[in-house]
Amino acid sequence: MKKVLSLILILLLALTACGTQEKEETASPEEKKTEEGTNAAKENTNTRELTAEDEKFSKLIVEKNYDAVITETVSLKSESQKDFYYIASAIIKNNENQTKTYNPADLTAMKTDYQVIVNYINRVKFVPDEIKVEVEGLKKSAEEKVAEADKQLTK
């Protein structure tokens, strides 16, 4: 009797697991639309409201005090800290790249250095309006340098 009861329980669990799995795989069109809307909202970089922390960090960036931003945001505890850490890191990396001399025969190093900037900025989810132009300009400039290096490397 115990063996039969155990067998029934195992079969019941197996059938339940299969039924749950099938239900998850077939999402309704309404659920898909909601998920797409959520993803679209995440992609919009200026959906978050400006907080006191955002204002503090953007002020430091306007004042070109990037090291202070890095030291205060290195813990990456909040979304704001992550965003400003990446922004400050991208600006610092760009400043390093400006003073660096690259070997014209080896453009891979230049491409890699500027790709780092693009990657940092792509991680940013929110950019306050007061530094948005600077960040977008930095991203555009870095992308152009990467494309230029790509073009030279493929010749």
Helix (H, G, I), strand (E, B) or coil at 50: coil
Q: How far apart are CA 96 and CA 78, in angstroms?
A: 27
**Nearest residue to 57 (alpha-carbon basis) of 14, 86, 30, 16:** 86
What was the pLDDT predicted at 6?
Answer: 67
What was the pLDDT predicted at 23?
Answer: 43
Find which of 37-46, 71-80, 103-112, 146-155 is predicted with most confidence, using mean pLDDT. Answer: 71-80
Joined together, the tokens standing for residue 7 give 């067998």
Q: How far apart are CA 48 and CA 130, in angstroms?
A: 15
Q: Report the chain's C-alpha Rg in angstroms.
A: 25
Q: How confident is the model at residue 111 (pLDDT cuts 50, 70, 90)?
A: very high
Helix (H, G, I), strand (E, B) or coil at 76: coil
Global model pTM greater than 0.85: no
Strand (E) positions, the chain?
Answer: none
